[in-house]
């Protein structure tokens, strides 16, 4: 017998190797329990590192946060890959949902290769650091921070000065372009490792529906909102023409971005005096009231906390007051962008904010504390369920509270002696529209751009053009100076540099009005919707808590139903809120068009 024949005979006689046993439901539950313990520990370490970096931007903290981000992302990717072996089982609903959330939990999923993981984490830390340290230096001795430039856009009406700082801030982002291109490649690689077409498809899968279905849902909501936005845009454009002249604005129907009072033209409230209706004085100036009372940063936060305690929630822990950042330090660089933090499973809640005693920050404080109280409400949930029903809910909750900062509320807490009459309501609604309604298309376009970039529809050589094409399509806004592909204007927006998904803010601006309308009905409010405050209504607090306590344990329609009684997102509440303003805008636009006083 030949050696080969003998070998074949021997192999044939040998018992077959046993196939790997199929996984069981018990093993799936044991796996997800282990995954949650592991990720909770890494998440806490990552939170501490990110807090240190955001409040003390130096080389050392950049390295620490890159390592912590990489460790968390790598472990998440590894566990998400391991979880795929259980997906074909008939799993209990909670285990199946946790496995899905595990796969979707990282915005920049780490690839399998450790070298790629390190590179991705390093790029993320570098991009955020470049943004946080960004300055525009007119001369070596005269450098402006983003905050300085935002002050100019808020206060100045000199178009040359506005253009200077608008262009100046965008000198920060071109160095990010190549790194961002590589970031996209690595994020897509990680997403594909998890079974998604690209990182954008992964993001859109977070909404309890197929990615294409979610895109259609956004289109439906935008169609509900567009008539109101178009009315506001036409009116504001005509007022800008009156201020700066037709030549400065142009005849293409678009608005030059630097004239709208905001670095990204995402919010227009800073041009309120230009756009205000006649006789629109609300009867008070909250900024002057705060300044006149010498209300400091901590007192402003105490007032915000008081809104929540009036609804029946417990006060914030003492550690919140000891560990939060309320003012910009003079001795170091920090990320001043306001944010709320759950550093250690609701045991260590904080906010990070460079507070100024003005109306804008007063409202922002109420918003950020909404995140903190939401975080505490779902603290009893397992780790993977500690989050909002979808990411729009978290933002919407804070904005819902901010909507309740009405003259009625300000009187209740003693900041106003009397509630002004209805004659100033158009002015208040215009102010709110310049902030909330003006934001809506920007809230859509940021991620529309990124989804196109992640999918490859927009190539690196077309990054900047695609950004401004979308700005024209959705916002009706154009750059005030020529832009080219040597620029990288998307990187001049924090959420792009820091890779924070942005559609959540669009959803929030829909859901907040839907939440607000439901809570106002709870109080029995019968007047104009914009006049409602649910401050001190304990039943409203109970309804809020019922929704918040669910965390991410149920699909978002369940949480929406708990709050509003409806399982469908509905932008009609936005129309209800702004109905008096919409009627007035349409009348004004018709008059201007008829007389030819402003071209459209």
Active site positions, annotated: 337-338, 367-368, 371, 395, 495, 505
In whole angstroms, give the CA distance from residue 302 to residue 323. Answer: 15
Phi, psi of 327 (to 5 degrees): -135, 155
Phi, psi of 393 (to 5 degrees): -65, -40
- The answer to whether residues 430 and 276 touch, using CB atoms and an 8 Å cutoff, is yes
What does the chain come to in residues? 600
Q: CA-CA distances (angstroms) from residue 411 to 294, 417, 561?
A: 18, 6, 32
- The answer to whether residues 80 and 356 touch, using CB atoms and an 8 Å cutoff, is no
| Bridge partner residues of 351 (DSSP) | 340
Q: CA-CA distances (angstroms) from residue 147 to 262, 268, 356?
A: 11, 17, 11
In whole angstroms, give the CA distance from residue 245 to residue 239. Answer: 9
Q: Closest Cα partner for 382 from 48, 25, 81, 101? A: 101
- The answer to whether residues 399 and 338 touch, using CB atoms and an 8 Å cutoff, is no
Q: CA-CA distances (angstroms) from residue 1 to 5, 8, 47, 108?
A: 6, 11, 69, 60
In whole angstroms, give the CA distance from residue 500 to residue 128. Answer: 11
Structure tokens, 597: 């006083």
**Tokens 């201007």 belong to residue:** 592
DSSP assignment string, 95-140? HHHHHHHHHHS-SSPPPSSHHHHHHHHHHHHHHHHHHHH-EEEEET
Structure tokens, 65: 């946060």
- The answer to whether residues 290 and 362 touch, using CB atoms and an 8 Å cutoff, is yes
In whole angstroms, give the CA distance from residue 229 to residue 446. Answer: 17
Show the CA angle centred on residue 404, arms to residues 336 and 417, nearest 5°.
100
- The answer to whether residues 36 and 79 touch, using CB atoms and an 8 Å cutoff, is no
Q: Closest Cα partner for 488 from 261, 177, 223, 65? A: 177
């Amino acid at each position: 017998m030949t050696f080969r024949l003998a070998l074949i005979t021997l192999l044939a006689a040998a018992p077959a190797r046993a196939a790997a046993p199929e996984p069981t439901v018990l093993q799936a539950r044991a796996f997800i329990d282990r995954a949650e313990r592991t990720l909770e520990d890494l998440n806490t370490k990552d939170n501490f590192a990110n807090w240190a970096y955001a409040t003390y931007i130096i080389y050392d903290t950049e390295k620490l946060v890159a390592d912590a981000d990489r460790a968390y992302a790598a472990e998440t990717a590894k566990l998400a890959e391991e979880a795929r072996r259980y997906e074909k089982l008939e799993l209990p609903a909670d285990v199946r949902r946790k496995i899905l959330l595990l796969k979707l939990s990282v915005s920049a999923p780490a690839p399998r290769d450790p070298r790629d993981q390190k590179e991705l984490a390093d790029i993320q830390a570098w991009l955020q650091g470049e943004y946080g340290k960004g300055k525009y230096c007119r001369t070596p001795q005269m450098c402006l921070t983003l905050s300085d430039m935002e002050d100019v856009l808020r206060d100045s009406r000199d178009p040359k000065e506005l253009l200077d700082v608008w262009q100046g801030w965008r000198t920060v982002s071109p160095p990010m372009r190549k790194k961002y291109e590589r970031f996209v490649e690595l994020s897509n690689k990680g997403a594909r490792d998890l079974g998604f077409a690209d990182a954008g498809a992964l993001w859109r899968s977070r909404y309890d529906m197929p990615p294409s279905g979610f895109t259609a849902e956004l289109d439906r909501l935008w169609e509900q909102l567009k008539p109101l936005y178009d009315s506001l845009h036409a009116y504001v454009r005509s007022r800008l023409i009156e201020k700066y002249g037709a030549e400065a604005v142009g005849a293409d129907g678009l608005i030059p971005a630097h004239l709208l009072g905001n670095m990204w033209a995402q919010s227009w409230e800073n041009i309120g005096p230009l756009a205000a209706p006649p006789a629109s004085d609300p009867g008070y100036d909250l900024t002057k009231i705060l300044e006149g009372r010498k209300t400091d940063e901590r007192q402003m936060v105490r007032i915000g906390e008081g809104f929540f305690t009036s609804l029946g929630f417990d006060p914030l822990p003492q550690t919140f007051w000891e560990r939060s950042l309320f003012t910009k330090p003079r001795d170091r660089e920090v990320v001043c962008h306001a944010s709320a933090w759950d550093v250690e499973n609701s045991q260590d809640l904080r906010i990070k904010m460079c507070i100024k005693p003005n109306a804008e920050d007063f409202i922002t404080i109420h918003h950020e504390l909404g995140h903190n109280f939401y975080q505490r409400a779902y603290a009893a949930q397992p780790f993977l369920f500690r989050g909002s029903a979808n990411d729009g809910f978290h933002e919407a909750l804070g904005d819902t509270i901010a909507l309740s900062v009405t003259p009625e509320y300000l009187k209740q807490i003693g900041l106003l002696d009397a509630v002004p009459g209805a004659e100033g309501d158009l002015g208040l609604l215009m102010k709110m529209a310049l902030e909330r309604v003006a934001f809506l298309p920007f809230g859509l376009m940021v991620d529309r751009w990124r989804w196109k970039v992640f999918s490859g529809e927009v190539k690196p050589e077309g990054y900047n053009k695609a950004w401004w094409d979308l700005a024209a399509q959705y916002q009706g806004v154009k750059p005030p100076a020529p832009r080219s592909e040597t620029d990288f204007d998307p990187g001049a927006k924090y959420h792009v540099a820091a890779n924070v998904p942005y559609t959540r803010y669009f959803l929030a601006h829909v859901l907040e009005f839907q939440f607000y309308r439901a809570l106002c009905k709870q109080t029995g409010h019968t007047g104009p919707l914009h006049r409602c405050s649910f401050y001190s209504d304990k039943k409203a607090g109970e309804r809020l808590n019922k929704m918040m306590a669910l965390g991410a344990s149920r699909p978002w329609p369940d949480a929406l139903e708990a709050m509003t009684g409806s399982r469908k997102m509905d932008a009609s509440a936005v129309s209800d809120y702004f109905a008096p303003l919409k009627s007035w805008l349409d009348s004004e636009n018709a008059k201007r068009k008829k007389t030819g006083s402003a071209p459209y």
